[in-house]
Structure 1
Amino acid sequence: MSESTYQFPGQTGFYKGKVRDVYTIEDKWLAMVVSNRISAFDVVLPRPIPYKGQVLNQIAEIMLDATKDIVPNWVKAVPTPNCTVGLKCETYPVEMVVRGNLTGHAWRTYKSGKRELCGVPLPEGLKENDFFPNPIITPTTKAHEGHDEDISREEIIAQGLVSKEEYEQLEKYTLALFERGRKLAAERGLILVDTKYEFGHIDGQIYVIDEIHTPDSSRFFYAEGFEERQAAGEAQKQLSKEFVREWLMENGFQGKEGQQVPTMTDEFVNSVSERYIELFEKITGRTFEKVDISEEEAKAKIIACIDSLK
């Protein structure tokens, strides 16, 4: 499914994101349909990735369930492989990015000579993919369109985006979720390198929302051979969406004005799908079962689910 075209009873809103189609029901519930669209550099690529939506939705379901003792989450039910139904929260306008290793955007910043990211000082003497002494939080603004922007803790509080008290609580939740995520990943022979969390609130109660610990929001390395590859200066073996970004960069695309998205061949699309399924099986320890469901059947299941929650 590359996009959904539902109209639900009691529907009061609809938002089409880069990957998700989000339906608001009676201003109380959300039905989040995770499509097979894929984005990189904040651009939706022209071809969908088979079963990607199912992979993301089902990993998020498992990971949110495994962390609900740390912070409540928005999920109430998962009526179809691609859809989650849950609480509509007032979202905080920042994304809490947490990094355990010097990788990706952090490495590109470091390599350019800068020793600060989002107001967080970066230690000297690190090389790509090294562990930070402790995980760091490097927030971004949450943009509905265009690029998310790096922002510091101090700027968030000064601009009134989040109150100081609430932001400090978000930091605590972020680090606790990351610690749990790293533990779960380690049990499966993986390193959770970096990820992002989004939060919302209802009547003063904070909830973690959207997805967590999926290949769209996170980066994983294989633990086996990590130290040897670091010592030899070799690239780390990873399961994440970064290989899509790297492929785009190799083909002259970084989301900048005037650049064209390179042609995505069938072979490339299928390889991306296989990588997503591989991560599902690796991080969850479960066999991935491909499910094909008609839009009509999916809609009926979602409606029945929402009715059961009322």
Structure 2
Amino acid sequence: IGSGWKDYLDTGEVCGIRLPAGLALSQELPAPLFTPATKAKSGHDVNISIEVMRKKLGTDVADRLGELTLQIYEYAREKLKKSGILLADTKFEFGYIGNEIVLIDEILTPDSSRFWDAGEYAVGSSPVSFDKQFLRDYLETTPWDKNSPPPPLPAEIIEKTMAKYEEIRQRIFTAQ
């Protein structure tokens, strides 16, 4: 469960978008959200509201990025659902080649997405996932401050993370 859930618990919002009161852990939202972020010079991406994005990029570009993001997400979500996988959330990075907006960097990987097992999914509980959440959960148990380089990882954590990544790869590609 990521930063969006933490923001919702603190403010009732995610990236400036007000959500219904009383949502439970891992509950599906009424509709997918476009939650923009910017690259920080160092550290983690910074979540921003669509209004801030419109001011930075202009309304037409910001709205086009929102449309593209939701179209790609919906397509992937429906394809994965047929394989028994829920696409809880993901991130897409866009850039320009000339004047054309293009999708760049990785997409729909365990590093950029949250994949949940549809058969094990239950509202109110932390779902079985096949992504980097396992590693993040481990790091939460360490004294790491998230600003300095991360601590060395035990072999067991590396192996379990690799196994989760391999399992989602197999589930996606053997179902096709």
Q: Same fold (TM over 0.5)?
A: yes
Aligned twin of 1:171: 66
Alignment of 1:36-75 (within 5 A): none
Alignment of 1:262-273 (within 5 A): 262-273=151-162
Aligned twin of 1:125: 22
In structure 1, C-alpha distance between the alignment counterparts of 2:90 and 2:42, rounded to whole Å: 20
In structure 2, C-alpha distance between the alignment counterparts of 1:123 and 1:149, rounded to whole Å: 23
Aligned twin of 1:109: 7
Aligned twin of 2:92: 197
Given residue 141 of structure 1, which amino acid in structure 2 is its aligned partner?
A: T
Aligned twin of 1:40: none
The structure 2 residue matched to 1:279, chosen from 164, 168, 171, is 168
Given residue 14 of structure 2, which amino acid in structure 1 is its aligned partner?
A: L
User: SS at 1:253's partner residue?
Assistant: coil
- The structure with higher relative contact order (CA 8 Å, sep 6+) is 1
The structure 2 residue matched to 1:180, chosen from 75, 87, 110, is 75
Given residue 137 of structure 1, which amino acid in structure 2 is its aligned partner?
A: F
Q: Is the Cα contact below 8 Å between 1:140 and 1:148 reproduced in 2?
A: yes
Aligned length: 175
User: SS at 1:133's partner residue?
Assistant: coil
1:63-90, Cα deviation, whole Å (9 max, x unpaired): xxxxxxxxxxxxxxxxxxxxxxxxxxxx
1:181-224, Cα deviation, whole Å (9 max, x unpaired): 10121121100000011112223222111111100100011111
Given residue 275 of structure 1, which amino acid in structure 2 is its aligned partner?
A: K
Aligned twin of 1:209: 104
Q: How far off its partner does 1:104 sit?
A: 1.2
The structure 1 residue matched to 2:53, chosen from 156, 174, 177, is 156
* Larger helix share, 1 or 2: 2
Q: How far off its partner does 1:244 sit?
A: 0.5
Q: How far off its partner does 1:263 sit?
A: 4.0
CA RMSD of aligned residues (A): 1.8
Structure 1 or 2, whichever has the larger Rg, is: 1
Are positions 1:220 and 2:99 aligned together?
A: no
Structure 2 stretches lacking a partner, 5+ long: none
User: SS at 2:47's partner residue?
Assistant: coil
Percent of pairs identical after alignment?
Answer: 34
* Larger strand share, 1 or 2: 1
In structure 2, C-alpha distance between the alignment counterparts of 1:271 and 1:210, rounded to whole Å: 25
1:232-288, Cα deviation, whole Å (9 max, x unpaired): x4321111101101000022335046xx844422222222222211111112227xx
Aligned twin of 1:90: none
Structure 1 stretches lacking a partner, 5+ long: 1-102, 287-310
Given residue 105 of structure 1, which amino acid in structure 2 is its aligned partner?
A: S
Q: Is the Cα contact below 8 Å between 1:248 and 1:254 reproduced in 2?
A: no
In structure 1, C-alpha distance between the alignment counterparts of 2:24 and 2:99, rounded to whole Å: 42
Given residue 255 of structure 1, which amino acid in structure 2 is its aligned partner?
A: K
Q: Is the Cα contact below 8 Å between 2:26 and 2:125 reproduced in 1?
A: no
Q: Is the Cα contact below 8 Å between 2:95 and 2:102 reproduced in 1?
A: yes
In structure 2, C-alpha distance between the alignment counterparts of 1:235 and 1:220, rounded to whole Å: 12
Quick check: 138-147 or 170-179, which moved more?
Answer: 138-147
Q: How far off its partner does 1:225 sit?
A: 3.1
In structure 1, C-alpha distance between the alignment counterparts of 2:169 and 2:17, rounded to whole Å: 32
Given residue 107 of structure 1, which amino acid in structure 2 is its aligned partner?
A: W
